[in-house]
Amino acid sequence: MRDSTTSKEKILKKIRKALIHKSSQEIGDIDNDSEIFTLSEEPLEIQFAQNFSALNGKFVFCENEAEFLENFEWITKDNEWKNLFCLEPKLKELLKKGKIKFSDKEDDLLSTDIGITLCECLIARTGSIMITSKQASGRRLPVYANFHIVVAYTSQLIGNIKDGLKFIREKYNDQLPSMISTISGPSRTADIEKTLVQGAHGPKEIFVFLIDDVQVE
């Protein structure tokens, strides 16, 4: 016991001495801007598609909005989806254009199977979807329905999460959303008998329809 106490006293003496006699050596500036990850040479849309798919997300690339409506109608029929719910004004106009039935009534939210939303941006390096409470879909729709459909545009692709947060700050200035979150694939847990369950506390499947809105010359 005495040896242990002596060792402890020695350590405490060294700490006290270090606090009293501060080093005269100056600490250099910390680099907070350089990338800590190796940058990929692949285009952002390919990076996102690969990383999102690796997280069990479903990815569909569309050359334009017309192709999105065509693909979405086919996938809806193939999966026998019903009770589509949407609150985003831009998406509602697009769905009406494609004559795709949906509901935007609050009372229908509890019975919806599929929630369709926009997003703030897509994070290519992590394959994540960044959403906020400022969106018309709010906090509930992205996590309530069994299937979450995200419609995004190639102009919303961003490299890293820090770039996404910078985008949010610049977009909302001093009125930041009360909730900023990233979705990285369907929710999953192995807490119950160490068996992996997907969609345990959120959508069972997440689809991202990426529409190309950047013209390459």
Which CATH number does the domain housing residue 92 bear? 3.40.50.10420
Average pLDDT of the residues of the chain = 84
Instruction: Compute the Cα dihedral for 147, 150, 151, 154 and give only its sign.
Output: negative
pLDDT at 159: 94
Q: What is the DSSP letter of 111?
A: G
Radius of gyration of the chain (CA): 24
Q: Is residue 23 part of a domain?
A: no
Q: Is residue 183 part of a domain?
A: yes
Q: Is residue 25 part of a domain?
A: no
Query: Domains in the chain: how many in total?
Result: 1
Please give the residue range of the domain that contains residue 96.
42-211
- For residue 124, what are the contacts with CB-CB under 8 A and spacing of at least 6? 44, 45, 47, 48, 51, 157, 158, 159, 160
Dump the DSSP string for 171-200.
HHTT---S-EEEE-SS-EE-TTTT--EETT
| Predicted confidence (pLDDT) per residue in 121-141, tens digit | 999 999 999 999 999 998 888
Cα(120)–Cα(132) distance, integer angstroms: 7
Q: Is residue 167 part of a domain?
A: yes
Of the candidates 105, 117, 177, the one whose C-alpha atom is nearest the C-alpha of residue 143 is 117
Q: Which residues is 116 bridged to in the sheet?
A: 86, 149
pLDDT at 112: 87
Q: Is residue 135 part of a domain?
A: yes
Q: Is residue 32 part of a domain?
A: no
Q: Is residue 14 part of a domain?
A: no
Given a cut of 90, is residue 61 above it in pLDDT?
yes
Supply 210's token pair.
Answer: 């990426």
Q: Is residue 121 part of a domain?
A: yes
> Global pTM?
0.78
Given a cut of 80, is residue 35 above it in pLDDT?
no
| Predicted confidence (pLDDT) per residue in 138-164, tens digit | 888 888 888 999 999 999 999 999 999
Cα 179 off chain centre by:
12
